[in-house]
Chains A and B, each alone.
Chain A
Amino acid sequence: ETGVTQSPTHLIKTRGQQVTLRCSSQSGHNTVSWYQQALGQGPQFIFQYYREEENGRGNFPPRFSGLQFPNYSSELNVNALELDDSALYLCASSLAGGPDTQYFGPGTRLTVL
C-alpha cells in the first residue's frame, strides 16, 4: 500500500458530460502528478501540481484541468467527455526535492459511453 488513495474506483459517464476525479497524496508528499492509461498502453503524463499550481503538462487539451488543495490532495476535471477519454486515471504523489520515486494510487476507471 502506497498511502495514495483515489476516488471513485469506477465511473461511467456519457459523451459531453463532465467528471471530477480525486486523489489524496501520501503523507509528507507535496506534489501530485496525473496520468492517463488507455487499455493495453503505458500511462501517459497529463500534468503535475506543486504548491497548488500546475507545474508541467503533457500533450492533453485544456478540457483536462486540475486543482491542488492546501493539504496537497488534488482533483482532475475533464469537461466535454469524449469516447477516447475512457481509461484508467492514475495519480502519483512525490516529494519535491526528495527521492525521484512517485507513488501511485489504485486508479479510477472511467468509461465514457
Chain B
Amino acid sequence: SQQGEEDPQALSIQEGENATMNCSYKTSINNLQWYRQNSGRGLVHLILIRSNEREKHSGRLRVTLDTSKKSSSLLITASRAADTASYFCATDAWGGGATNKLIFGTGTLLAVQP
C-alpha cells in the first residue's frame, strides 16, 4: 500500500516558472525524501528532510515539512525543460532491517514546456 499521496497528479508549466508539489503521509516518520524519475527509469535522490527540520534547500529545490499535518512540499524554482519527470516523496518505515524501508507516494508528473 502507498504511504503518501502526491498532489497534483500531473502539472504542466512553462520554463522559468516555479513548480510546487505536495505530499501527504499517514504515519510518524524519521525522515522524508524526494526522488525524481525520468521516463520509467531509476530513481534519483533529490533531498532528505528529517522530522525535526521544517525547511531545507538544495540548489533550486526547497522542501518543507509539517509533521503536525503530516505533509511536505517540494518547490522547484526557475524550472527547466530538463526538470520534466515524475517526482515521488518517500517516507521511511521500520522494516525490521538495517536500513529503514521506503514507502513511496503515487507521484506527480511534471511537464516543463520550453
| Chain A residues packing against B (C-beta within 8 Å) | 2, 4, 30-31, 33, 35, 39, 41-45, 48, 50-51, 55-59, 88, 90, 92, 94-97, 99-107, 109
Give the one of A43, A58, A103, A106 with max B CB within 10 A: A43
A30 to B97 alpha-carbon distance, docked (Å):
12
| Chain B residues packing against A (C-beta within 8 Å) | 1-2, 4, 30-31, 33, 35, 40-45, 48, 88, 90, 92, 95-107
A-B contact pairs, 25 of them (CB 8 A): A2-B42, A4-B42, A41-B107, A43-B43, A45-B103, A48-B97, A48-B99, A50-B99, A56-B96, A88-B40, A92-B102, A95-B99, A96-B99, A97-B98, A100-B30, A100-B92, A100-B100, A101-B45, A102-B45, A102-B99, A103-B45, A104-B35, A104-B42, A104-B43, A107-B42
Contact B97 A55 (CB under 8 A): yes
B103 contacts which chain A residues (CB < 8 A)? 45
13 other A-B residue contacts (CB within 8 Å) besides A41-B107, A57-B96: A31-B97, A33-B97, A43-B43, A43-B104, A44-B104, A45-B102, A51-B98, A88-B40, A92-B102, A94-B99, A96-B98, A107-B40, A107-B42
A90 to B41 alpha-carbon distance, docked (Å):
9
Closest approach, in angstroms, between the C-beta of A101 and any C-beta of chain B? Answer: 5
Closest approach, in angstroms, between the C-beta of A75 and any C-beta of chain B? Answer: 17
A100 contacts which chain B residues (CB < 8 A)? 30-31, 33, 48, 92, 99-100
Contact A48 B101 (CB under 8 A): yes
B92 contacts which chain A residues (CB < 8 A)? 100
Known: A103-B45, A106-B41, A109-B40. A58 touches B97 (CB 8 A): no
A55 contacts which chain B residues (CB < 8 A)? 95-98
A95 to B100 alpha-carbon distance, docked (Å):
11
Contact A58 B101 (CB under 8 A): yes
Residue on A nearest B92 in the bound complex, by CB: A100
